[in-house]
Structure 1
Amino acid sequence: MLPKLSLLDLATVGRDQPISEALADTVTLAQRADELGAFERLWFAEHHNMSRIASAATSVLIAHIAARTERIRVGSGGVMLPNHSPLVIAEQFGTLAELHPGRIDLGLGRAPGTDGATLRALRTDPRAAEAFPQDVRELQGYLSGETLIDGIHAYPGRGTGVPLYILGSSLFGAQLAAAYGLPYAFASHFAPDALQQAVRVYRERFTPSDQLAAPYVIAAANVIAADDPATAAEAADQVLRARVRMLAGRVGTDATIDDDMVTALMDTAVGAQARHMLTHTIAGDPDGVAAGLAEFAELADADELMLTNPATGLDRRLRTLEIVAGLRAAS
């Protein structure tokens, strides 16, 4: 049987697509996932200064999606806590929890979600990440109602008990999640290298907490499902080319990277980096995807899989959701 399945959405903006249309697609996908009933949660990630990602205002997007769905949990995967004060995040997610009781998750990361120049534009001190463990504890206090700062409370937020998740792609997050007794989500959909070691360390060192009695691992993978292998392979190639374009665009704008340039880059270090980032990508027809999900769950020793849906085009992404939901129901 497949483990629990969830979704990570970056509110991806297609080439030459208006952001408003991309956000409308995100709503359509969320509503379809909600209707299918096979997915536990839908998370959005905080990124900044990336033209192809429209989830920068993460809590705003979560509110919009939660108001347009009924069952699925909605949350962050994640909020980059060093970019914010713990009190503000407690107020934002406390508000969400009051509006949508029992449906809000708060996943936390310590990376900036952007480059150094944009970090400065965010008015964030690069050293803020060093305080991540203390900031998580402060945030816990606001949400539990047991503030660590005398006289300072989150209204809304106090006593909502919004569940926290630690996100990571290295041993640091695994060790912190284990020490604090929190669920751990590994970003293996783009950072595959330390997955198995981090999960092992987390499980070995886990200390029970009020939120969680036993370790709980979420591992992320990219999924491209289609009715036949050829269609899935074509979609997977488009995803790889889009990743190459994104990486090349870091030294310019992706508008300057035309299709011929992408082709030329496929056999360079940029192409190799893109392929490595997409190591944990499952593409195929229903049988192939079912086998891939089961294999990845075993490899990651995961209690839950967090799936990205990177295929280009709304129709392809909707079909991926439908196929994966059918696999979950049949398992």
Structure 2
Amino acid sequence: MKWFSLALTLAAPSQAFLRFGCATLSVQRLDPIVQPGRVPSSHLHQIVGGNAFNATMDPKVNVGDKATCTTCSFSEDFSNYWTAVMYFKARNGSYKRVPQYPNALLGSLTGGMTIYYLQESFSTNGKQKITSFKPGFRMTVGSPANDKAENPGLRYTCLQDVMTRFPETAEFPKEPCPAGIMAIHHFPACWDGKNLDSPNHQDHMYNTVKGAFTPAGPCPASHPVRVPQVAYETMWNTTQFNDKSLWPEDGSQPFVWSYDDRKGYGTHGDYLFGWKGDALQRAMDSTSLISGGLKTQTVAQANKCAIQNTVNEPIDGCKLLCVFLTALANDSFHRAQYAPRYVGI
């Protein structure tokens, strides 16, 4: 487990966070939070975490008890984490799915994401109780309907090398990135203490995030319970598309999310809690968070966990985006979800 030991060693001076990798579990059009039971969902997602993931995940069923394996380095974490998928649109109009690669600190995981659970910051819990999420809890951050840079926790980094972390931008980088593009999703960390979900999957949470892993602001009286600050980092390997002769003739950036967002403002993430038993709470209560008694597994074990596809269709090329746009033009549900970007369709 050299890869995981390395991550712990580098994190050791700061002990108020969990940082770990999760390999890719599946890439398909499913979304059990926003579009439960819909097969296929409107756009493609890359999913990591426990193998209980499917089109319908009943909040009354404890995911931590149902899943039998996970793609995450902590073997007690059967949560699911997902985002949209990035595509490259070439000058000739063709699309190509952008591959993912693991963070340099996390060894040879298959694609996937880096997951964070922070307390107040990397080094302190702010002398406050950090309450674990409960079974059945779920939330989203961001919205595909966004057409402005509204959330400082949703950002991109143009990677000069695999260790680059700054600067961050609210939209896709405008020039070729030597080591790819990192997409960053910071979730809100203030909970109302009552609801495991809400109709828009966000109102039960309150966002005081300031971005770039800076300490979030204090929680308001309406959402007084401080929960872990969840964040995702996804490394997209755009290097094979750095030849600008393939880019649009006007020189504009060529990357697009799987819901046809060319600016990047609509980037969003979904989280569905599934830690086993009280493992996450024990970790949050531990004096030394990164050694809070959590069980780990090898890269090989994480990479081995998988699920069968519910949606069997090609995920490269134009097909998925063409399907999305056709659905958007003919389906009021899609138009409502993705307005105002497509008001004219």
TM range (shorter): under 0.3
Query: TM-score w.r.t. structure 1 length?
Result: 0.24
Query: TM-score w.r.t. structure 2 length?
Result: 0.23
Q: Which has the higher contact order (CA 8 A, sep 6+)?
A: 2
Higher helix share: 1
